[in-house]
Amino acid sequence: MSERAAPILPGRLGNPNMTLAEDPRADPRMIAALAPLGIGGPVEPFPLTVDDPLDQLHAYADEGEQGFGAVGDALLTGVEAVTGVARSVEIITGVDGNDVTLYISRPEEAAGPLPGILHTHGGGMVFLEAAAGNYQRWRDELAATGLVVVGVEFRNASGKHGPHPFPAGLNDCSSALQWMHDHRSDLGIDKIVVSGESGGGNLALATTLKAKRDGKIDQIDGVYAQCPYISGAYANPPAELPSLTENDTYFIDCAMAGVLVKLYNPDGGNATNPLAWPYHAGPDDLAGLPPHVISVNQLDPLRDEGLAYFTKLAAAGVTVSSRTVNGTCHAGDCLLRAAMPEVYLATVRDIKGFADSL
């Protein structure tokens, strides 16, 4: 009897030198869109570690904010503006006494109350901003389907809106949730879904966990978290999260993610606090939460922590579903509006459908 050949492991599990562009699972439309931006090929080792001085890590965050912002803008080149959407801005006072800016997108014409979305943007809770063009676009696209979308400009741990480590940004998101709940009638909404991607996925989940701890879980009707950045385990990826190795350096780098963790939680004291890193939530934290959707990207280092959270929610009796967007890198279905409109709009429709179902 001949021996069975060993299975070929995916991505960098099978070939430690694999690149995103070489991975046979990658959508060719994504690769073509990212290549002019220098993304997808071989990458140099990340130049910093969590042991470097904080001022150097903050300097990197400042540069990274500009770089990731430019990528978001470039990927929207040539896309026509969303029509039929009205925008407004509210400035509220957060629980810490600071101003929090809210960006509101809503259909120009709508009959009856609509679902509301509280949107928390990505950037690892460290950089980027709700005012950016790609996030304005995302809110407008959602609003055009018949949703009222409120984007919160929370404090970051570094960059333009920093330096404010945990729990500053979470407190701002909770303040935005309270304002949105208090103004349901004024906004014309009959339910609230908290939603965000990457670091915003963390904050969507953490805002929900905090609402439960604060006795305010009735303020949230549903949660839609995309590619959530929730383990904090990037500097030393654990075996139970193989995608951190399988897809490392595919658009995002685990060494870079580890540096962002250090900026968000400088003294390490919240490494297993579910409000900082929801991956560590236990059954008691999760029981009784509202319905969730956990959406992940196949070629994302963060894929498996999102799927693990889905499994924890299901085990805790929460109504939950999950989806994997195949062929895409981290947040690819939120970024690639021009190159992959079908994929981008499928996620927009899924959020709308989830909100309508509640």
CB 119 within 8 A of CB 200: yes
- What tens digit of pLDDT does each residue of 214-272 get? 999 999 999 999 999 999 999 999 999 999 999 999 999 999 999 999 999 999 999 99
- The answer for residues whose C-beta is within 8 angstroms of residue 336's C-beta and 6 or more apart is 29, 30, 33, 75, 328, 343, 344
- What tens digit of pLDDT does each residue of 180-226 get? 999 999 999 999 999 999 999 999 999 999 999 999 999 999 999 99
The per-residue pLDDT for 323 is 98
The per-residue pLDDT for 8 is 83
Residues of the chain scoring pLDDT < 70: 1-6
Question: Sign of torsion, CA 37 259 44 279?
Answer: negative
The per-residue pLDDT for 343 is 98
Distance CA 349, CA 353 (A): 6
The per-residue pLDDT for 6 is 64
Distance CA 33, CA 339 (A): 6
- The answer for residues whose C-beta is within 8 angstroms of residue 59's C-beta and 6 or more apart is none
Q: What residue ranges define each of the domains in the chain, with the CATH number in brackets?
A: 71-357 (3.40.50.1820)
- Give how far the C-alpha of residue 187 lies from the chain's centroid of Cα atoms, to the nearest Å: 24
The per-residue pLDDT for 1 is 46
Token look-up 């970024």 returns: 335
The per-residue pLDDT for 218 is 98
The per-residue pLDDT for 5 is 63
Distance CA 96, CA 171 (A): 7
